[in-house]
């Protein structure tokens, strides 16, 4: 009897202690996390260089870039929620528009009568805005009639050796022909582009490999909606995660002579999801570029290109078509140096309210078409929790031979003391008749919504883990960041970072990298393939490893990186060879290319 009583007492004490232990677990894990992060606090340049291999410094004003984005002002009936409806439009695209060997920047603005900017790189660490004199500045003066700018991409659609400019808008898209780097001619009308698309993404790619760049455009709001002149307020998504009342998709086949033909329906690109980002790459080694689309209020879409004759949505079969989130970015990177691309899609994470987590779709089987499968490994690799994330780019920021990741965060930074999350979550969970009507949304009244969030800079250790170092390397930024682009602005072998912020200034981060780390770049010129070489794949072999990269016609959120492909090599590299697979199907191998220089390579014609 005594033994039983003692046993019961002991068991009870044990269970109470177990319960207390459970309650204390989150605090203990938090402490452990803090202890592990202690090393990532702000450090001096030399310590950061020594520990992480690079350091960043904001040089926007030093190099003469004082651009500030201004958000659009839409129909007054949206005034009560204007900050969340007009929350995009800040973008950046990189191009050497005058072929002088230095990367230039095109930045979009969105408020009425504001101008877009084309910053010409003078080659002496200074920039000059030449948008007005070259005719690509005034695109926002009549929003009700022509809409306003959302982003831009560069591509040589007529293969004349100069990159042409396409500006996508909430409104009339615009195509500008580059007149040998000395000016631009508006060619929108002869190109047969539609009169209105509420677009937030576009991609240049040669989907049928005929040597001419074609154009994909993804709609966000329905193209029937003029956001400056609403017929009614039923313009919002019908669901927070299952909406299919967004804009349609367009695929313009390049017919040559400056003419395009819209072929999306006959090729199977039919979707009315709310597309925020798209990018193209050959994921199944078919030789044809496939298309990945990140949709707000829905699932990610994977369109497999069937020899340029059809696109098939294989998202479900590939494991990407479930788990609807708020997709805002598509970028590709061979992050494990295994010759395969991971796909990074950003979403929303707000502690305690909504934790979607960003997606890092890693290929999990052989790359043969039938078995194309992806698994979300963002949590395993440590790149899941960004914030309210927008643009992201992979690039080797410290030239150590592994691709790092920059992620832009922050939605609406307004009143610091109050936020809109309660009202947002109230309506976001509601029935489609409620959520889809803007008049049902409570007024924001100057409140923040996931504002003042810090951008993330994750460096890749090459062994399957990323470490967050933004603060430590001088890259801390808490503005409402949207687009991110990487470019070597000074031709010194390092990737600098350009960040376009919503309703805020553009930031230019000059990167300083550990001296011992080497690099190599490849600028490709197509001859049989499209002149921009978009879609060309370069695989570099060195020190017993390899990395593959593809020339892209768009990457990230409303962004485009520099055209040349940049590879970091680490210290004392022994580069064996580089293999180039051109979109035409032609392959080329260069043995032992010289390191620490940019190689310009022209496609052989056989």
Partner 1 sequence: MQLIAKVKKQISEFQYNRGYTPPLLITGILLAAHLSFGILEDYTKLGIAIGASMATELVLHRLLLGEWRNLNSAYISGISVGILIRSPFLWPYALCAMLSIASKYVLRFKGTHIWNPSNFGIVAILLLAYDNVAILSIQWGNNMWPMLVIWIIGFVSIWRLKRFHICGTYVVSFLAFAFIRSFISGDPFLAEIAPISGPMYQLFVLFMITDPVTTVKSKKGQYLVAFLIASVEMIFRLNEAVYAPFYALFIVGPVAMIIEKWWKEKQQAEAGSNVAVQQENA
Of 376 and 549, nearer to partner 1 (C-beta) is: 376
Range list of H helices, 56-196: 82-85, 131-134, 143-146
In this structure, which long-range contacts are made by residues 372-380, counting pairs with CB atoms below 8 Å and at least 24 apart in sequence? 372/283, 372/284, 372/304, 372/314, 372/317, 372/318, 373/317, 373/318, 373/319, 374/318, 374/319, 374/320, 374/343, 375/319, 376/323, 377/342, 378/344, 380/464
Phi, psi of 461 (to 5 degrees): -85, 0
Of 200 and 356, nearer to partner 1 (C-beta) is: 356
Of 267 and 412, nearer to partner 1 (C-beta) is: 412
d(C-alpha 488, C-alpha 359), whole Å:
27
Least distance in angstroms from the C-beta of 452 to partner 1: 16
The residues binding partner 1 (CB under 8 A) are 8, 11-12, 14-16, 18-19, 22-23, 25-27, 29-30, 238-243, 299, 321-324, 349-357, 376, 378-379, 384-385, 421-423, 425-435, 437, 439-443
For residue 122, the SS3 value is: coil
Q: Reduced to 3 DSSP states, what percent helix, strand and coil does the chain have, rounded to the nearest 5?
A: 15, 35, 50
Least distance in angstroms from the C-beta of 41 to partner 1: 18
Q: Are 69 and 504 in contact, with CB atoms under 8 Å apart?
A: yes
Could you tell me the two tokens for 136?
């690509």
Of 67 and 276, nearer to partner 1 (C-beta) is: 276
E strand residue ranges, 257-341: 259-262, 274-281, 290-296, 301-306, 310-313, 331-333
d(C-alpha 41, C-alpha 34), whole Å:
11
Of 23 and 591, nearer to partner 1 (C-beta) is: 23
Of 11 and 270, nearer to partner 1 (C-beta) is: 11
Least distance in angstroms from the C-beta of 22 to partner 1: 5
Least distance in angstroms from the C-beta of 364 to partner 1: 13
- Sheet architecture: strand order including 389-395: 389-395, 404-409, 456-460, 466-468
Least distance in angstroms from the C-beta of 243 to partner 1: 8
Of 368 and 418, nearer to partner 1 (C-beta) is: 418
Of 188 and 244, nearer to partner 1 (C-beta) is: 244
Of 167 and 385, nearer to partner 1 (C-beta) is: 385
Q: Kind of pairing, strands 598-602 and 517-525?
A: parallel
In order of 118, 164, 273, 450, the CA distances from 158 in angstroms are 21, 8, 31, 43
Of 5 and 606, nearer to partner 1 (C-beta) is: 5
d(C-alpha 31, C-alpha 119), whole Å:
46
Least distance in angstroms from the C-beta of 12 to partner 1: 7
How big is the chain by its Cα radius of gyration, in Å? 24
Number of residues in the chain: 606
Least distance in angstroms from the C-beta of 91 to partner 1: 28
Least distance in angstroms from the C-beta of 11 to partner 1: 5
Least distance in angstroms from the C-beta of 501 to partner 1: 25
d(C-alpha 290, C-alpha 280), whole Å:
5
Least distance in angstroms from the C-beta of 219 to partner 1: 20
């Amino acid at each position: 009897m005594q033994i039983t009583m003692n046993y019961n007492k002991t068991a009870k004490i044990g269970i109470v202690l177990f319960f207390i232990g459970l309650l204390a677990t989150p605090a203990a894990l938090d402490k452990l996390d803090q202890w592990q992060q202690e090393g990532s606090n702000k450090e001096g340049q030399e310590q950061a260089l020594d520990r992480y291999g690079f350091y960043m410094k904001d040089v926007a004003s030093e190099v003469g870039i004082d651009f500030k984005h201004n958000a659009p002002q839409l129909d007054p009936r949206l005034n009560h929620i204007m900050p969340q409806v007009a929350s995009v439009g800040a973008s950046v695209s990189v191009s050497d528009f005058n072929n002088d060997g230095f990367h230039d920047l095109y930045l979009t603005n969105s408020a009425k009568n504001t101008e877009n900017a084309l910053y010409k790189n003078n080659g002496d660490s200074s920039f000059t805005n030449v948008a007005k004199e070259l005719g690509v500045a005034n695109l926002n003066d009549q929003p009700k009639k022509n809409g306003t700018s959302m982003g831009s991409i560069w591509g040589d659609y007529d293969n004349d050796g100069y990159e042409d400019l396409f500006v996508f808008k909430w409104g009339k898209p615009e195509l500008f022909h580059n007149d040998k780097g000395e000016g631009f001619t508006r060619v929108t009308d002869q190109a047969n582009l539609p009169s209105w698309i509420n677009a937030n993404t576009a991609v240049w790619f040669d989907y049928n490999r005929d040597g001419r760049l074609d154009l994909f455009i993804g709609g966000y709001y329905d193209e029937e909606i003029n956001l400056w002149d609403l017929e009614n307020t039923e313009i919002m998504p019908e669901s927070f995660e299952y909406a299919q009342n967004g804009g349609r998709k367009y695929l313009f086949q390049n017919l040559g002579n400056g003419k395009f033909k819209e072929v999306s329906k006959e090729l199977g690109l039919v979707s009315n999801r709310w597309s925020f980002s798209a990018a193209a790459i050959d994921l199944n080694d078919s030789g044809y570029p496939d298309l990945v689309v990140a949709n707000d209020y829905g699932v990610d879409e994977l369109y497999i290109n069937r020899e340029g004759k059809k696109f098939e949505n294989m998202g479900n079969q590939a494991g990407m078509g479930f788990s609807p989130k708020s997709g805002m970015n598509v970028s590709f990177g061979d992050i494990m140096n295994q010759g395969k691309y991971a796909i990074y899609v950003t979403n929303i994470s707000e502690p305690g309210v909504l934790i979607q987590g960003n997606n890092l779709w890693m290929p999990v089987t052989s790359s043969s078409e039938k078995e194309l499968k992806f698994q979300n490994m963002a949590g395993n690799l440590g790149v899941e929790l960004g914030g309210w994330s927008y643009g992201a780019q992979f690039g080797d920021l410290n030239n150590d031979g592994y691709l790092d990741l920059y992620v832009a965060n922050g939605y609406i930074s307004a009143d610091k003391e109050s936020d809109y999350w309660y009202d947002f979550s109230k309506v976001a969970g509601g029935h489609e008749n409620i959520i889809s009507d803007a008049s049902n949304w409570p007024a924001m009244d100057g409140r923040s919504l996931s504002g003042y969030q810090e951008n993330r800079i994750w460096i890749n250790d090459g062994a399957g883990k990323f470490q967050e170092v933004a603060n430590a390397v001088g890259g801390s930024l808490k503005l409402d960041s949207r687009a991110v682009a990487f470019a070597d602005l000074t031709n010194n072998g390092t990737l600098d970072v350009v960040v376009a912020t919503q309703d805020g200034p553009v930031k230019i981060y000059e990167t300083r990298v550990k001296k011992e780390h080497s690099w190599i770049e490849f600028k490709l010129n197509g001859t049989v393939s499209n002149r921009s070489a978009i879609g060309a794949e370069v695989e570099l072999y060195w020190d017993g490893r390899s990395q593959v990269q593809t020339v892209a016609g768009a990457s990230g959120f409303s962004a485009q990186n520099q055209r040349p492909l940049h590879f970091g090599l680490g210290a004392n590299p022994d580069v064996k060879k580089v293999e180039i697979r051109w979109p035409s199907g032609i392959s080329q191998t260069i043995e032992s290319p010289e390191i620490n220089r940019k190689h310009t390579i022209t496609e052989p014609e056989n």
